[in-house]
Each structure stands twice: as structure tokens, then as C-alpha cells.
């Protein structure tokens, strides 16, 4: 039986992950494939208990697991620690790096009943259906960094190898082949050497995918185009830092990142988590929105276990609950039926039937 390691993390992570597990268990009830759930510590919760954000036991369990479901990490309590020890860098970035999860996938698909929540005009966003693929273990965030004296200064290095670019771009083309066959590679090739290299490798990989329509876009233009005409995009592939900015920007087209799920992959091994953070201000109140984590569970079924039908069952159940007018507080408008975190999980389970 495949193993899923659940890492609730901090803040609302503790409340939203149980709802996703609840939904995964419900959709696989009476199914020949079932999953075993194990639990571990990460982030601030791990710092408090074990003294480090990514305990050895957690890393070992993650390496042994077939998939990982993560809530969220971080909070003001740990913000005074040196950065490498903090929940984000020492926990989340460290586990991604240790597991070689080089590809972050973030689907952004507008649901008709949520289109009003967007700050963009309905006609601009109503048909948005795109995926941002972000390189996750290379580039500026992982390069050598440090301080200098005389003059006082600080530096970070951006470096990409051929292999790092190849594998994420390859996945970009594969993802495009399963969708509308359009790939937009985002770089800053007019200024950065690493971007020019990125573009060269992309053009090499493109030779194997003659059916995919490949375009290149500078990152500043891509940020504009996501606001100007987001429906032009099918699959976007880009490097780590550009992807960090563009995934969040693309998600905000939905009006909130409360609904955005994500997968971080290395082959079929994957870490699944909501795009939003640990929201310490609303933690422990049973008001957090668990849908992004529930949808991350659907991505897990799709990418790690090949259970496409069950993944779609979850996605349809979430749509149905929203269609019926149920919302968590973050998405609620006058007239909506507001549910708590647990109650929203229950509603999705009920809609699976």
C-alpha cells in the first residue's frame, strides 16, 4: 500500500490537512487502491519540538514515502531566527531540495461561480485555464549568497546548468501536449546570460515537440500580459524566481489564492500543498479555507498515483459545493452559506457521493 506522508506544518496547516486526508480517504473508500497516511513535523512545529525545521526523521519518512501532503509553514514566532533556520528556508525549501522536487506545477482555472471574486473584469478572466510550471531547485534562491565588506555589500548568485533547464522545459512540453499544445517560456534573455542559456536549451528541446507552439516572453512583459490578456496562456514554463512571482500573480487572477493547489514533482514522487501560507492570524479558529489543500490531494491522485478519475471526482465535488453556494469566510459574499473549515471538508465528502 502506498505511503502518504502528511506534514501539517504551522498555523492553519494543522486545520486544512485533516480535511484533505478526509476527502482522500472518502474518494478511495471501496477502491482497490488505498493509501496509508503517516504524519511528521516540519517548519516551526518541528523547530519547537526537535530544534530544526526539517528533522532527520521527517526527511527519512519523506524519502520513503510515495507522496507528501503539506499544509503550510512559518509564523511570527520564528521570524527572528537566522534565515537558514527559519521554517521557509530550513523547512520548505530544504525538503524540496532534498527530494529533488525540481518542478512546481500550479494550475489556475477559473470556476464560473468564483469569477466575481476576481478584481479583473469578468470578460478578461472567465475562461482562464492555464498552468504555471516553475523550476524549483535552482537559480537565484539556491545559488551562493553572502556579505562583503569595504564596501559593505551582499550578493546572491543565479546559476543554471543544462540539465536543470532541460528537465523542467521537457516537462513543460509534455504538459502542453496533454493540453492545448501551447508553451510560453518566460525569461529575461535581453539582459541575463542565464536567460539566454535558458532560451537556447528550450529551442533544443523544442525540436522533439514539433506539435507544440512555443513562444518566448520577457518576464516583465509576462507579468503585464497576465493582467492584460490572461486567456492567451496555456502552459507557462520559467525559472525559479520568475516563477515565484508569476505563479502568485497568475493565482491572484482568481481573486484569492485560497483556491490554488500546487504539486512539486520529481518524476512520480511529489509534494502537494496549497499555494497560500500559514495565515497565523486566523489559525485555530476553524475558519480557514481547506479547498486548496483538498484540490492538492486531487493533484496527488493524478500525478503520483495515476488515479485520474478519482482526481476529477474530487475536483467536481469541490465545484458542486461552490455551485450550491457554500463558501468559507475568505470567499463569502452576502447571501452565501458560510462554512467552517471542518464543515467545508464534510461538504466536499458529501458531494463525492
Active site residues: 141, 188, 220, 244, 248
Q: State the minimum distance, in angstroms, from the CB of residue 207 to a copy of itself.
A: 17
Tell me if residue 86 falls in helix, strand or coil.
coil
Q: What gap in Å lies between CA 80 and CA 111, rounded to an integer? A: 39
Does residue 220 belong to the site contacting Mg ion (CB under 5 A)?
Answer: yes
Judged by CB, which is closer to a copy of itself: 187, or 315? 187
Q: State the minimum distance, in angstroms, from the CB of residue 352 to a copy of itself.
A: 31
Residue 277 annotated as binding site: yes
Q: What gap in Å lies between CA 158 and CA 350, rounded to an integer? A: 48
The entry of Mg ion, a copy of itself, none that residue 155 binds, CB within 5 to 8 Å by partner kind:
a copy of itself
Counting Cα atoms < 13 Å in the Cβ hemisphere of 62 gives 29
**Grid cell listed for 170:** 521537457
Length of the chain: 353
Contact 199, 165 (CB under 8 A): no
Where do contacts with a copy of itself occur on this chain (CB under 8 A)?
Answer: 83, 86, 88-89, 93, 119-121, 124, 140-141, 143, 145-148, 151-163, 188-194, 196-198, 219-221, 223-224, 227-229, 241, 244-249, 251-253, 255, 257
Q: Is 56 left (phi over 0), alpha (psi -120 to 50) or beta?
A: alpha
> Could you say which of 213, 231, 248, 319 contacts Mg ion (CB under 5 A)?
248
Judged by CB, which is closer to a copy of itself: 185, or 304? 185
Q: In Å, how far are 74, 77, 278 from 43, measured between CA atoms? A: 6, 11, 10
Tell me if residue 208 falls in helix, strand or coil.
coil
Contact 106, 132 (CB under 8 A): yes
Q: State the minimum distance, in angstroms, from the CB of residue 302 to a copy of itself.
A: 25
Judged by CB, which is closer to Mg ion: 79, or 220? 220
Judged by CB, which is closer to a copy of itself: 28, or 89? 89
The entry of Mg ion, a copy of itself, none that residue 162 binds, CB within 5 to 8 Å by partner kind:
a copy of itself
Helix (H) or strand (E) run with residue 22 in it = helix 13-28
Contact 291, 351 (CB under 8 A): no
Residues placed in the known binding site for substrate? 96, 106, 134, 220
Contacting positions for Mg ion (CB under 5 A): 220, 244, 248
Residues placed in the known binding site for Mg(2+)? 220, 244, 248
Residues placed in the known binding site? 75-88, 96, 106, 134, 220, 244, 248, 277-289
Amino acid at each position: 500500500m502506498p505511503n502518504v506522508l502528511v506534514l501539517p506544518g504551522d498555523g492553519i496547516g494543522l486545520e486544512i490537512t485533516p480535511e484533505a486526508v478526509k476527502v482522500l480517504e472518502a474518494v478511495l473508500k471501496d477502491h482497490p487502491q488505498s493509501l496509508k497516511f503517516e504524519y511528521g513535523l516540519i517548519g516551526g512545529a518541528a523547530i519547537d519540538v526537535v530544534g530544526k525545521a526539517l528533522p532527520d526523521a521527517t526527511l527519512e519518512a519523506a524519502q520513503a514515502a510515495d507522496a507528501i501532503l503539506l499544509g503550510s509553514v512559518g509564523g511570527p514566532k520564528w521570524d527572528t531566527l537566522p534565515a537558514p533556520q527559519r521554517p521557509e528556508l530550513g523547512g520548505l525549501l530544504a525538503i524540496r531540495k532534498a527530494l529533488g522536487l525540481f518542478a512546481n506545477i500550479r494550475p489556475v482555472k477559473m470556476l464560473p461561480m468564483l469569477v466575481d471574486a476576481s478584481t479583473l473584469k469578468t470578460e478578461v478572466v472567465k475562461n482562464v485555464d492555464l498552468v504555471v510550471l516553475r523550476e524549483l531547485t535552482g537559480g537565484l534562491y539556491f545559488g551562493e549568497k553572502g556579505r562583503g565588506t569595504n564596501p559593505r555589500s551582499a550578493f546572491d548568485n543565479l546559476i543554471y546548468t543544462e540539465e536543470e533547464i532541460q528537465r523542467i522545459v521537457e516537462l513543460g512540453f509534455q504538459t502542453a501536449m496533454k493540453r492545448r499544445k501551447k508553451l510560453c517560456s518566460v525569461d529575461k534573455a535581453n539582459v541575463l546570460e542565464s536567460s539566454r542559456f535558458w532560451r537556447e536549451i528550450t529551442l533544443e528541446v523544442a525540436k522533439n515537440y514539433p506539435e507544440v507552439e512555443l513562444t518566448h516572453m520577457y518576464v516583465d512583459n509576462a507579468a503585464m500580459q497576465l493582467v492584460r490578456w490572461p486567456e492567451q496562456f496555456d502552459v507557462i514554463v520559467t525559472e525559479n524566481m520568475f516563477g515565484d512571482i508569476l505563479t502568485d500573480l497568475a493565482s491572484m487572477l482568481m481573486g484569492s489564492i485560497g483556491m490554488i493547489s500546487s504539486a512539486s514533482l520529481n518524476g512520480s514522487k511529489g509534494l502537494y500543498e496549497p499555494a497560500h501560507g500559514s495565515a497565523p492570524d486566523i489559525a485555530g479558529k476553524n475558519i480557514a479555507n481547506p479547498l486548496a489543500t483538498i484540490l492538492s490531494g486531487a493533484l496527488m491522485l493524478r500525478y503520483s498515483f495515476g488515479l485520474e478519475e478519482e482526481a476529477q471526482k474530487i475536483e467536481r465535488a469541490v465545484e458542486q459545493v461552490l455551485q450550491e453556494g457554500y463558501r468559507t469566510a475568505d470567499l463569502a459574499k452576502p447571501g452565501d452559506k458560510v462554512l467552517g473549515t471542518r464543515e467545508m471538508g464534510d461538504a466536499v465528502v458529501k458531494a463525492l457521493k
